[in-house]
Amino acid sequence: MHSTIENLKREVFARNAGEPEFHQAVAEVLDSLGPVLERHPEYLEQDIVQRLCEPERQIIFRVPWVDSNGKININRGFRVEYNSALGPYKGGLRFHPSVNLSIVKFLGFEQIFKNALTGLPIGGGKGGSDFDPRGRSDRDIMAFCQSFMVELSRHIGEYTDVPAGDIGVGGREIGYLFGQYKRIQNRFEAGVLTGKGLSWGGSLVRPEATGYGTIFFAREMFRTRNESFEGKTVSVSGSGNVAIYAIEKAQQLGAKVVTASDSSGVVHDPDGIDLELLKQVKLTERARIREYADRRSSRVEFHETLSDLWRVPVDVALPCATENELDEASARALIENGVQVVAEGANMPCTADAATLLRESDSVLFGPAKAVNAGGVATSALEMQQNASRDSWSFEYTETRLDEIMVSVHDVCRKTAADYGSEGDYVLGANIAGFTKVVEAMIAQGVV
Ligand code: GLU
């Protein structure tokens, strides 16, 4: 079986040359599949792995737009509609200069299994642009979003493909994108995008959902050891939506969160992060994180080296910034400092070597992104439900639904791992549970 999987990987890598992030995401899933392919020889007969690794549709387009200085800008737009076996393609849009086909495909591939794990009827997709929103005026952001949507609007729809936010795409951008879509189609089709504003079809808890869900998942991991967040010290990287709301919920559960970061540096606040100040600096002012250190107290340390964050001794580490932010040396430092739980709030934040080390350490519980951060997209699916029934739910009700979904994602991962003889291996459990659900639906629907 090992050589079959190696051959499958080689085939996918050769077919998608020069896409390292995509290869990394594919390898992580395929390396888990040995036991499931042994149990289900029909999956190999059906060439299901090859079919799954090939996106159903990949769209790349020019995004021309004129900025407020009158300068013409050309960006590249992407939407990879990866798999629709379980429902319409669903997944975020990322606006960041690093965006390329490899990044969008890795995110889209992960999204298939993540969405399957939620138990909700959503397929997998992802998109974005190499547009850099940093330092741009609202007017420039709007001009870009409108041009981006002119092309994207041809490919999306409530029953086809439902984008949302990711890095660089939040409420403001979804607003401009939705407005332009509505204008083009002359339809108030609320279910075409998620992450909308509350008064025009958005859902309560959607902004908090990925961060809260990360903590609900980690809480369940602790529970398997009869432990809780109460009194624990936590390091969080990032300071976007995922990080900020992970900090909020961890604090609500009695933990002390001592770090946050952005691409310019890390703050280590031994007294515990002042969340109101962090929200003010990062969400309201969109300023650099150094501002937090400057305004907070003399005890806060500021480091420019991002990996310093993982040298802080903690019980729980939550990488919530971006892919490959936590490398093998950082994983080793965390283990040596006695970390008990590492849960990935961002998508693929651990390098392959770091993930292997954490997964194989007996003392650490390691939760992979596609399970841990599924709360964001799950709440997007709840937003779609509210749109379809022209309803809006209370904060408490929506948060309870999210909590129940995260408990169920956690339990499915654990049960599946145990069923395949690897108790406590959340990576194996998440990959096999997500994979099985999607491929069963694909086989039932024939060769399409
Ligand atoms: N970008 C988020 C993710 O990585 C959310 C996607 C969505 O809500 O569709 O899952």
Alpha-carbon gap, residue 170 to 77, rounded angstroms: 17
Residue that finishes a domain, picked among 188, 222, 255: 188
pLDDT digits (tens, 9 = 90+) for 298-339: 799 999 999 999 999 999 999 999 999 999 999 999 999 999
Note the pLDDT tens digit of each residue in 210-226: 999 999 999 999 999 99
**426: in domain:** no
Residue type, 277: L
Closest-CA residue to 263 (of 209, 294, 305): 305
Over 90: is that where the pLDDT of 1 sits? no
177 and 245 part of one domain: no
| Protein residue with its CA nearest to atom 5 in ligand 1 | 377
The answer to whether position 416 is within a domain reads no
* pLDDT, tens digit, 9 for 90 and up, residues 275-296: 999 999 999 999 999 999 999 9
247 near 275, Cβ under 8 Å? yes
* 29, 141: one domain: yes
Work out how many domains the chain is built from and give that number: 2
Same domain? 161 vs 223: no
Any ligand 1 atom below 6 A from CB of 87: no
Q: Are residues 217 and 275 in the same domain?
A: yes
Q: Do residue 217 and residue 289 come from a single domain?
A: yes
| 339 shares a domain with 232 | yes
Shared domain for 152 and 229, answered yes or no, is no
Structure confidence at residue 2 as a pLDDT band (50, 70, 90): confident
Q: Is the CB of 92 under 6 A from ligand 1?
A: yes
Residues 150 and 248 in one domain: no
Domain for residue 169, yes or no?
yes
Same domain for 266 and 174: no
Q: What is the pLDDT of residues 16-40, one digit of tens each?
A: 999 999 999 999 999 999 999 999 9
What is the average pLDDT score of the chain? Answer: 97
Supply the DSSP symbol for 93: E
Q: Which of 320, 336, 363 is the last residue of a domain?
A: 363
State residue 113 phi and psi, 5-degree precision: -75, -40
- At 154 the three-state DSSP class reads coil
Contact 192, 181 (CB under 8 A): yes
C-alpha 125 to ligand 1 mean position (Å):
9
Give residue 34's pLDDT: 96
Question: The domain containing residue 253 runs over which residues?
Answer: 209-363
Claim to verify: residue 97 and residue 236 sit in the same structural domain: no
Residue 419's contacts (CB-CB under 8 Å, 6 or more residues apart) are none
pLDDT in tens, 328-385: 999 999 999 999 999 999 999 999 999 999 999 999 999 999 999 999 999 999 999 9
Tell me, using a 6 A CB cutoff, whether residue 376 lines ligand 1: yes
Say yes or no: CB of residue 380 within 6 Å of ligand 1.
yes
Is residue 6 in a domain? Answer: yes
Q: Which atom of ligand 1 is nearest to the CA of 347?
A: 4
Query: Separation of 180 CA from ligand 1 center, angstroms?
Result: 21
* Separation between Cα atoms, residue 88 and residue 233, nearest integer Å: 40
For residue 340, being part of any structural domain is answered with yes
User: Does residue 45 carry a pLDDT above 90?
Assistant: yes
- Clarify whether residues 293 and 163 are in a common domain: no
Distance 210 CA to ligand 1 centre (A): 8
| Domain-terminating residue out of 325, 341, 363 | 363
**What single string gives the DSSP state of each residue in 248-316?**
HHHHHTT-EE-EEEETTEEEE-TT---HHHHHIIIIIS---THHHHHHS-TT-EEES-GGGGGGS--SE
**Ligand 1 contacts CB of residue 347 (under 6 A):** yes
Say if residue 47 is in the same domain as residue 124.
yes
The CATH number covering residue 260 comes to 3.40.50.720
Q: Is residue 410 part of a domain?
A: no
- Give the residue numbers annotated as catalytic, written as ranges: 126
CATH number for the domain harbouring residue 166? 3.40.50.10860
Q: What angle do CA 53, 343, 93 make, to 5 degrees?
A: 50
Burial tier of 421 (Cβ tally within 10 Å: 0-12, 13-18, 19+) = exposed
Quick check: CB of 194 below 6 Å from ligand 1?
yes
CA of 193 to the centre of ligand 1 (A): 11
In a domain, residue 392? The reply is no
Nearest to 323 by CA among 306, 353, 346, 357: 346
429 occurs within a structural domain: no
